[in-house]
Amino acid sequence: MKDNDAGPIATAKISLDAAVKIAEKHVSGKAVRAEYEKQRDGRWVYDVEVKANAAVSDVKVDPENGTVIASKLDQADNDDEADRAD
């Protein structure tokens, strides 16, 4: 976690575990990383990377109500050749 997220996560209405399950269900995959992070606009969200088959999706879950607020393919994690070059 970044910038001591312990305080803000304590105010979240859903747990990190619940957010992971929501994200996994959303893309029918298995979470490989999850964190609670502050967005540029100041809002806090759960950011969960979920692997489904060969694709990795970045899923953002609202900590207040558990809804998926964004989901997109994570191109950086899908490109193994580029990862090896990094």
Residue 35 lies in a domain: yes
Query: By 3-state DSSP, what share of the chain in percent is helix, strand and coil, each rounded to 5?
Result: 30, 35, 35
SS3 of 21, please? Answer: helix
pLDDT for residue 10: 75
Residue 76 lies in a domain: yes
Round to whole Å and give the CA distance between 5 and 8. Answer: 6
Round to whole Å and give the CA distance between 47 and 86. Answer: 23
Residue 43 lies in a domain: yes
Residue 23 lies in a domain: yes
CATH number, domain containing residue 69:
3.10.450.40
pLDDT tens column, 36-60:
999 999 999 999 999 998 899 999 9
Residue 79 has pLDDT above 70, yes or no: no
Range of the domain at 50: 6-85
Mean pLDDT score of the chain, rounded to an integer? 85
pLDDT for residue 4: 53
Amino acid residing at 21: K
Residue the block writes with tokens 């969200």: 45
Residue 1 lies in a domain: no
Residue 20 has pLDDT above 60, yes or no: yes
Residue 45 lies in a domain: yes
Number of domains in the chain: 1
